Structures are given as C-alpha cells and as structure tokens.
Amino acid sequence: MHRRPGSPRVFPTRPALLLGLLLPLGGGLACKDKGDDTGGGGDGGATDGGTTDGKLRVTILHTNDWQSHMLGWGPAAEYTPDTTGDDPTVGGLARIKALADEIRASSGHPVLLLDGGDWMAGDLFQLLGTTHAAELQAMQTMGYDAITLGNHEFDWGPGTLGQIIATGDANGVTVPILATNTVPDPADPADDALEALFDSGRIQSTLVLTLDNGLSVGLLGLVGDAAGGLAPAAVPTTFGPAGEAAALAVNDLKGQGVDLVVALTHNGVTDDPATSPDEVLANEVDGIDVIVGGHSHTPLFTPKEANGTVILQAGCHTQYLGQLDLAFDGSTWTVESYTLHELDDSIAGDAEVTALVDGFVDALESGPLADLGYDFAEPVVSVPGDIQYEECVESTIGNFVTDAYLRVMNEVPGVDPIDVAFETQGVIREGLLQGNTGIQAFSDLFRVLPLGAGQDARPGYPLVDFYVTASELADACEVTASVSPFYGCNYFVEHAGMRCTVDMVNTPFARVEQIELWQDGAWQVVDHSAANTALYHVAVDSYTASLMYTLEGLTSGLLVITPKDASGTPFSDLADAVFDADPATDGVQELKLWEALVGYGRAWPDSDGDGTPDLPDSYLSPAGRIVGLDG
C-alpha cells in the first residue's frame, strides 16, 4: 500500500466553518462483517479507543462504482486473491473485505463501510441480477452499513431493479439502501416492484445509525442531476433535484439531533470547483459534513472541500478503498487522517468472499454463459501490451473497438459495405491490460462493452447501421471537437474508416476542416459541404444512435445528424435500423457490441503458435484518426 501522510483538518457540524480555516491533508494511492457493523465499537464514555483526550471517533471506509467488478483489475485469469506477490492485478472484492476487516480489528472505535452507487453493470456478474443479486449478496458478506443507487442500477429499468433487490432480500441481504431523490410513479405499474420497496421501507430516504460509542450518524443517498439524465431506462421512475432533496433530508436529520451528516452521492467531481457536481451540492446545501461520492470514477487521493464539507471518491471497479478517520469533541469534527488504499497484490483476499465469487462464476458458467455459448475464462486474443482507455483523446481501445465493428459487420454476406464505424467513450468502459501473459479471456473483452440490452433477451447493446451525408460525418467529428470539451469525455467520438482534421483555435462548431475516408487502400478527401448529397453507410451502437436525435437540441441546431435508410428517408423508429448479423435467418439477429469485439479478436492469426490469436503491435499507439485536436 502506498500512503501519503497528511495534516489534520477541522470542520464543524454546526455552523459551517470557513473554508480558509481548513488545513490541507494528503491522501494515499489507490477504488465488516454485518454482524459487527460498528467495527468493534467504543465504550460510549468520555474516551474512545483508549484515548484520553475526551474525543469520540469514527472511521468511514468507502467505495463507489463497483460496476459488478468482483475480480481484480487486469486479466481475470491472473487474479489470485488467495496469495500475494504473484499477480499484477489491482482490486477485487476479496481484497476490500480483507483490508476492511484489518482496519476494523485494529480500531478502538466504530468503523462504517459505505458505497456511492453504480454497484451494478459493467461485468459478467451483472447477468446474475434477477437470479442471484450477486453484488448485493457480496455487500452483505462484506458488511456494508449503507449504500445508494447510481444511474447504472437502472440500466434494465426500475422493475428489474426492484426484482434484483427482492432477490437479494430473499438471499438474506439486509444492507440499507438509501434513495433520497428517487421517485417511483404511483400511476404507472412499470415500476411497481421498485415502488413496493419504498412503501415497505426497504429503500429509505434517510437513515440514522447510533454507534457503539454513542455517536449518531445521519445518512442520505442521491442520484445526481447529471447522472439521473444518463438513466433513460429509469422511466417511469424519476429523480428529484438533488440539492432540494438533500436540503430537506439534512434538515430532517439535524432535527433528529445527529452528530454527523453523511451524503452518499452518485454525482461526481471535476477539476473546476465552480462546476464540480459534489462541490456545487456542498455549497448549495449547508450541513453536509461528509460526501461519499461516485459517478465520475475519480480517485481522490486528497479529499476536496466546499462549505465545510469533506468530499471523497474512491475511483472505480473495486481498485481502491478510502479511509477517513474523524474525531468529535462535542461540537467540532476533526479529520485526523485520510488514506486512499490501492488494493494491490500485497493484500491476501478474504477466503469467504473468494469462495462466494467463485460460486458466482460457476453460476454464470451453468446459466447465462451456457446460453450465450461462451466460457468465463475462455481465451480469445493475446495483446502485445496495454490497449488503453484514455479520456478525451484518441485511444487505442477506441481504435480496436471501432475497427472491430467495421470488420465484423463488413464480413456479413450481402451487406452494403460500412464506410465508417463510430463509438463514444461513454459506452467504452475500459481497456485491456496485458498482465503477465497478455491473454484476454471472454470475461475481459465483455468488460470493455458490457452495457445495455436489445430486443432479443441477450445482454448488450446491438449495433445499428444507417446512412448519413458527408456534412453529417463532419458533424460527428465536430461532436468530438466542440461538444466533448464542454460536456465531457462521454461525448468524445472514436471512429474507424475516417480521419478528421480539426483546428481547435476556430470557433466552436466550426472546427472541422477536413474529413477523409479510407477507400481503396488510401485516405481520400471527401467534400463535406452541403453540395455533396452522397450518402455514406455508418454503424454505431443503438444507445448512441438514439442520442443523435437530441444532438440538435443540445447544440441549438448547430449540429444535426439524422439516421436514414439507403434511399435517404429518415428512420421514424431506430428499431428498424438494427443490424442483422444473419440475413439468411428469419427475423433480425442482433450483433452485440461485445460479440463484435470477440469476433474481431478471434480473427487475428496465432503468430507465436500458442493457440491464441495475437493482436498486432499497431494497437499500442493511436492511429492518427483525429488530427489537430491537441492544437
């Protein structure tokens, strides 16, 4: 573990202390058994944990954005939590449990374990949602004291989320779930399963925990305004304004006399305090002492501060465990230390959690994966190095993904050749790490593009294909050059078959200077003015395609991309644009994003004779498909 010692920081519960009085503290590098949810407790008297200063103490451990990642960050086959010093992976639930138990055992005061949402959606374990509620069962075993919901918990709709939670309860899960601004629709039966959990009190707006040393902690849980906007499948459930809901909850908790208010927020942080969602929330709502955040996947080695609120976030994908140590003198809270622990191979994983996760792998093998025709650890392709996910720049994983779409779709007999394939960085979830062997299993490739569903009851967004004009191709490049800098890297568009040249000095929405298409083995400049009425065949995932209809409004009409059929007629329903991977079979055979990736990986030759196809070295560096973006 890597640690950076820090200085104490002080912040009060009532009233808020001026930010200038807060002292800086450093962080450490890095993402309880339920029967002992206070981590050993305290004596409830004038001292805590053997100290003689009269202060009461509590430790907050926190995670966020698991996104179903139960194994280490790296090739799944190389993750060996039972032993140390023999694998390069980082993270994993077994290591979180082991470190949390170590901290609890060594503490003389209560220890809480909390999560900031998006514990589902992003790995194969999500496929066990309605049958096992694997993530919730794991949280029960690990001793979480409270969790909140994120936007990805709603990926399959509120009805399915209700089923998942009910499945967890049937398997003994009692971890409190907080959802302060989530609002089911009483008039619509589509979210009745979720609404019933609110009505019964299984999902709560707020929660008060009275610790063994007499301290009371009030908790609330929020889906941030922007995060809620990324959950279209949540309908008819809605999300109230986070600030308004937080203010009401804080007033309620303060009215109950709690000593500490902790908000579990799936909201995010940015580098700009003026727009950083959790900082904006803290400035808007007085009385929040600690924010345990999520959504932006940010490892905060040093907590942020705003309006007397300490703001935490622990990266993503179970790579880190945050530890905040607090002391209370009766009126003022002091941050005594903060460490963001990296969960590396120096930590031997908890055996109970390892066995639990192994059981979930078995359940996948005998259930969903058997139906899909894949094995969890089935080798697919070997990589020569890390195929990286890098935000807001052309990434090697973006090139790999879009190349996969282009090649696999163009190999389907009878298909009018696809000219350009697109994908947004918001849909690409991670890259591929070489590890010790370079071999990537099916489970590793699935994690790259794990999201969504189509109409065929199989997991994953399907690919769609349609036609656009050259000016609309240029608009796709303009999204990268002009929309992404303002709205974030989720809007950054990766592509194959096209090269864009931009000038970032130009006025936004007028930055694309040239587009070229790869034709006949060379780059060919394409006239992207309105005078060119030719149509070009393109492909993208169904989710991103659906957002194209909102692009005009997002840019006040400056960018417009309208999916069309081969005759140039706009699609009235994008379901008609779903790509058919087997035209010879009745109906539409959806090609899932992850299927294209697996098919492309398998298409490479086995150059070293070890039985696994080998990806070429060309994927270790960008291909220069976006020129001029760096100014």
For residue 399, name the pLDDT band (cuts at 50, 70, 90): very high
Residues of the chain with CATH 3.90.780.10: 378-627
For residue 487, name the pLDDT band (cuts at 50, 70, 90): confident
What are the pLDDT digits (tens) for 591-600? 999 999 999 9
Dihedral angle, C-alpha 234, 149, 303, 349, nearest 10 °: -130
Query: Alpha-carbon distance 193 to 281, whole Å?
Result: 30
Mean residue pLDDT across the chain? 91
What are the pLDDT digits (tens) for 427-451? 999 999 999 999 999 999 999 999 9
Given a cut of 70, whether residue 401 has pLDDT beyond it is yes
Given a cut of 80, whether residue 30 has pLDDT beyond it is no
For 573, counting Cβ atoms within 10 Å of its Cβ (0-12 exposed, 13-18 middle, 19+ buried), the class is exposed
- Could you tell me how far CA 499 lies from the centroid of its own chain? 29
Beta-carbon contacts of 187 under 8 Å, excluding residues fewer than 6 positions away, are: none
Given a cut of 80, whether residue 34 has pLDDT beyond it is no
How much is the pLDDT for 170?
A: 98
Contact of 443 with 377, CB cutoff 8 Å: yes
pLDDT mean over 229-257: 96
Total-model pTM: 0.88
For residue 51, name the pLDDT band (cuts at 50, 70, 90): low
For residue 553, name the pLDDT band (cuts at 50, 70, 90): confident
Helix (H, G, I), strand (E, B), or coil: what is residue 133? coil
pLDDT mean over 287-311: 97
Contact of 504 with 511, CB cutoff 8 Å: yes
Please, what's the b/e burial string for 30-54 (b: 16 or more CB within 10 A of its CB; e: otherwise)? bbbbbebbbbbbbeeeebbbeeeee
How much is the pLDDT for 48?
A: 56
Query: What secondary structure does DSSP assign to 44-86, as a single string?
Result: SSS-STT-SS--EEEEEEEE---TT--S-BS-GGG--TTSSSS
Residues of the chain with CATH 3.60.21.10: 9-356
Contact of 311 with 337, CB cutoff 8 Å: no
Query: Alpha-carbon distance 420 to 426, whole Å?
Result: 19
- Domain 9-356 fold is Purple Acid Phosphatase; chain A, domain 2 (3.60.21)
Beta partners for residue 218, in sequence order: 208, 261
Beta strand pairing call for 498-502 and 626-627: parallel
Reported as half-sphere exposure (CB side, CA atoms, 13 A), residue 287 has a value of 19
Query: Alpha-carbon distance 594 to 600, whole Å?
Result: 10
Q: Any idea what DSSP says for residue 387?
A: B
- Max CA-CA distance within the chain? 81
Given a cut of 90, whether residue 16 has pLDDT beyond it is no
118 closest CA partner among 37, 173, 197, 63: 63
Beta-carbon contacts of 114 under 8 Å, excluding residues fewer than 6 positions away, are: 60, 61, 62, 63, 144, 145, 146, 147, 219, 262, 264, 292
Given a cut of 50, whether residue 338 has pLDDT beyond it is yes
> What is the CATH architecture assignment of 378-627?
Alpha-Beta Complex (3.90)
Beta-carbon contacts of 384 under 8 Å, excluding residues fewer than 6 positions away, are: 434, 438, 614, 615, 616, 617, 619, 620
Q: Any idea what DSSP says for residue 273?
A: T
For residue 547, name the pLDDT band (cuts at 50, 70, 90): confident
Beta-carbon contacts of 265 under 8 Å, excluding residues fewer than 6 positions away, are: 116, 117, 148, 221, 222, 224, 242, 277, 278, 281, 291, 292, 293, 294, 295
Given a cut of 70, whether residue 45 has pLDDT beyond it is no
